[in-house]
Amino acid sequence: MPSASPPTRPALRARYEERRQGLIDAAAKLFAERGYEQTSIGDLSEATGLAAGGIYHYTSSKEDLLIAICDELLDPLLEQARAIAATDAPPERHLRELLRAWLLHIESHIPHMLVFGQERHTIEREPRWRAVRRKRKRFEEILDGVLARGEADGSMAFEDRGLALLALLGMVNYAPQWLRPGGRRSAEEIADVWCNLFVR
Amino acid sequence: MPSASPPTRPALRARYEERRQGLIDAAAKLFAERGYEQTSIGDLSEATGLAAGGIYHYTSSKEDLLIAICDELLDPLLEQARAIAATDAPPERHLRELLRAWLLHIESHIPHMLVFGQERHTIEREPRWRAVRRKRKRFEEILDGVLARGEADGSMAFEDRGLALLALLGMVNYAPQWLRPGGRRSAEEIADVWCNLFVR
Amino acid sequence: MPSASPPTRPALRARYEERRQGLIDAAAKLFAERGYEQTSIGDLSEATGLAAGGIYHYTSSKEDLLIAICDELLDPLLEQARAIAATDAPPERHLRELLRAWLLHIESHIPHMLVFGQERHTIEREPRWRAVRRKRKRFEEILDGVLARGEADGSMAFEDRGLALLALLGMVNYAPQWLRPGGRRSAEEIADVWCNLFVR
Amino acid sequence: MPSASPPTRPALRARYEERRQGLIDAAAKLFAERGYEQTSIGDLSEATGLAAGGIYHYTSSKEDLLIAICDELLDPLLEQARAIAATDAPPERHLRELLRAWLLHIESHIPHMLVFGQERHTIEREPRWRAVRRKRKRFEEILDGVLARGEADGSMAFEDRGLALLALLGMVNYAPQWLRPGGRRSAEEIADVWCNLFVR
DNA sequence: TATGAATGAGCCTTCATTCAT
DNA sequence: CATGAATGAAGGCTCATTCAT
């Protein structure tokens, strides 16, 4: 769903999408490294090899890139979460799968996650960001639903389920700051260890 | 240690410090709300009632304010952490006290924490920020020390202590995003609940 | 005399001229509505259905369109004025016919006239616009000649012929701002009423 | 009513207003010469001696300058027109006085008038320009009122009063294109000659 | 012919900071 | 101390134009 009119002819369309993707990735990387505001269109130009003006073929604005980054992060994650929660596996399994998918997704979207965390003030304040906020909320609800069912069937134990949810969100959202592919522990192992904090 | 030459006569000095403090607090609030870059000196001017030029009596630069915010956050926290860890109480008690102090401090410095989280890229990149990075690291080391001693004496149980530390850092660093004074749970209660995740 | 190499084969040529004409008309309309500078090639592209690049098949530049608009306005007008003044009718009749032709031409070229009036600064300043300025001047001379002959033979009365000429130019040049085909008065009626201001 | 917060202290205020006035005058001159769009803030900076950024102390935007130019043109004119029409002199005298004041005002505001004429498309299209449109309209109503009363008391004769009004508007609005202070005829003389076109 | 990609210059505006008063 | 004026460097974005396909 790019914003700067993509071509309609399929052949061109493919190349267009590919380049837009490259732009978004470059943006995610730079935004993560130096911050959204501190990254100039000139920086993006240098990183992509496109002249400054050319960037606007693939995005309608700098902020549009930021939204695209968040969408790329949230959309597949939300989809996976829904798929997992739709299974008729027991809640304990739901949680484990969810955490695994989540951490794997983060591991492959570290810059996206860093940007998403950094730009909280933008996401929170502007009306334009409502869709993003809603996706985030939806994901958290799915997660909470899993915890609730786990609590109900006794497979998980919480002193306070609300605090458990917030703890989980905190620890996972913090992961992009240290998690690296090929690190000492795989994303799945980490997921399991953390899952065990709440599963009997 | 303000940066824009404070007066030496004690009477004036007090007033000076008071106003500088007001400036830093206003900055923390605005930076948290809109982001550091998106907050202009003009915004600070409006918030403090000082004209743009006047602000520079109390700080040497905008970035200096950012550093001051981080110092105000980290210095007392580090001091408390040191004091707690210096006690000869058992590690379990250390952890509990540390978490309580930590969350209480956060509760009274929510904007500071939000800013500190948001400006990671600045803190991480610039040489000028080494002192801040070092304080953060020192705090984490103290925390890890407590966990290590708890693991050693068997009062705490970890599948993987490194992951436990990271989980702890994540959940607490995430707290400023939802924790509010007067909320359903006090900072101390939260500290206890979370502490119990790791204590036998 | 289009500027972007028209085809030589007559069949193609006709189509070419037709499309160029469509482009000029669209430009006149848009320039009149939003101003020359505020109209982008993109706007013209949208209005004509031609992609941005395609426009340059029919004009060598945006400014060339502006010149074409002025030429389309002035060339036929000048021709008619010459034809009328070449008649051996009495001056009074010359004036009446001239005014009628003039207002009729304006009525069918309202956007052209608006643009012509609006872009005075361009027309006046740039050397490239000399031809246009000369045509305008020639028309005014013809008009003044008619007034002079009318004054000479007593059929017209002026306190100050120069001021009468300027008054006439002013009222007619202002017409495109309110004159509309099918309005309360026809162009010819208006011409007659105004003519009578000067004719005994 | 400047738009970029003027100082409140009276001493500073005077200097501020003076400089803002200088800026507006420079803008009127440049806009008239090269057009509004073709005049850059850099041009204004050069003309005023103020650095580009400094201009924004005296205006909130380039468009604000355009509005100020129109206001400077219309406000005093409207005031004079009202004063004249409020007199209990006969309509014939009203018309004569009005034309004189009008042409004198134009003579001392030639660039303003040229800009006002040139930027018709802006004035007409944007909602922000409603106040300006209304002032223009009000002036025209006053003028038409005078003609109506002149027609009623027989001191003026029109084949078609509407067309007379439009003729008058046209000839006077065209004046800035040729009228120059110290020219062959004074503004008052011109006013009288034109007035006589309609007065018996 | 026609298209869409690409360029690069230029524009308006913002802003941290300095300084005379 | 405090103010408001002033600076000058960016910054995001637009746009006329060119060109390979």
* C167 closest CB neighbour out of D32, D37, D171: D171
Q: What pLDDT, on the 0 to 100 scale, is given for residue B3?
A: 58
Beta strands in A25-146 (DSSP E): none
Burial class (CB in 10 A: 0-12, 13-18, 19+), D121: buried
CA C121 to C1' E1 (Å) is 36
Among the partner-chain residues C120, C160, C167, the one whose CB lies closest to the CB of D118 is C120
The spacing between the Cα labelled CA in B60 and the C1' in F1, in angstroms, equals 15
- For D33-64, the pLDDT digits (tens) are 999 999 999 999 999 999 999 999 999 999 99
Question: Which burial class, exposed, middle or buried, applies to B172 when counting CB atoms under 10 A from its CB (0-12, 13-18, 19+)?
Answer: buried
Give DSSP secondary structure letters for B60-82.
S-HHHHHHHHHHHHHHHHHHHHH
Mark yes or no for CB contact D190/C117 under 8 Å.
no
Contacts of D168 in chain C (CB under 8 A): 171
Q: What is the pLDDT of residue D3?
A: 53
Q: The dihedral of CA C101, C107, C110, C114: what is its sign?
A: positive
Amino acid code (one letter) for D107: E
Residue C3 has a pLDDT of: 59
Residue located via tokens 């038409």:
D144
Q: In the predicted model, is pLDDT for residue C2 greater than 80?
A: no
B32 and B116 in contact (C-beta within 8 Å)? no
Residue D137, phi-psi category: left (phi > 0), alpha (psi -120 to 50), beta (remainder): alpha
- Closest by CA to A91, choosing from A155, A36, A30, is A155
- Tens of pLDDT, residue by residue over B2-59, are 457 788 777 888 899 999 999 999 999 999 999 999 999 999 999 999 999 999 999 9
Confidence band of A2 (pLDDT split at 50, 70, 90): very low
Cα separation, D43 vs C37, in Å, equals: 17
Contacts of A19 (CB under 8 A, 6+ apart): A58
C181 phi-psi bin (left φ>0, alpha ψ -120 to 50, beta other):
beta
Question: Which option is the CATH number for B10-55: 2.60.120, 3.40.50, 1.10.10, 3.30.310?
Answer: 1.10.10
Give the pTM.
Answer: 0.93
Helix (H, G, I), strand (E, B) or coil at A199: strand
Q: Is C97 exposed, middle or buried (0-12, 13-18, 19+ CB in 10 A)?
A: buried
pLDDT tens figures, C52-89: 999 999 999 999 999 999 999 999 999 999 999 999 99
Mutation to test the C interface, candidates D174, D178, D188, D198, most C Cβ within 10 Å? D174
Inform me whether the pLDDT recorded for C16 exceeds 70.
yes
- Using an 8 Å Cβ cutoff, are C32 and C111 in contact? yes
Q: Which of A118, A126, A171 to mutate to test the interface with B (most CBs of B within 10 A)?
A: A171
Three-state DSSP class for residue D2: coil
Touch between C and D (at least 3 CB pairs under 8 Å): yes
Q: Compute the 3-state secondary structure of chain D and give helix, strand, coil in percent, each to the nearest 5.
A: 75, 0, 25
Q: Give the gap in angstroms from C-alpha D108 to the nearest C-alpha of chain C.
A: 19
DSSP state, D52? G
Output phi, psi for A199, to 5 deg. -95, 135
Q: Which CATH architecture has domain C62-198?
A: Orthogonal Bundle (1.10)
pLDDT tens digits for range D51-101: 999 999 999 999 999 999 999 999 999 999 999 999 999 999 999 999 999
Residue A9 confidence (pLDDT) above 90: no
DSSP 8-state code for residue A192? H
Most confident of A2-16, B10-24, D150-164: D150-164
Q: How far is CA A103 from the centre of its chain?
A: 10
- How far is residue A132 CA from its own chain's centroid? 10
- Nearest by CB: A174 against B114, B174, B193: B174
Judge whether residue C74 contacts strand E, using its CB and a 7 Å cut-off. Answer: no
CATH 1.10.10 maps onto chain C at 10-55
Q: d(Cα D154, Cα B19) in Å, to the nearest integer?
A: 77
- CATH 1.10.357.10 residue ranges for chain D: 62-198
- Which band of pLDDT confidence, cut at 50, 70 and 90, is reported for residue D2? very low
A59 in Cβ contact with A68 (< 8 Å): yes
> F3 C1' – B50 CA distance, angstroms?
9
User: Cβ(B80)–Cβ(B154) under 8 Å?
Assistant: no
Taking the C1' atom of every nucleotide in all shown strands and the CA of B41, the nearest one is E16
Q: C27 burial class (0-12, 13-18, 19+ CB within 10 angstroms)?
A: buried
Of all residues in chain B, the one with the smallest CA distance to A164 is B194
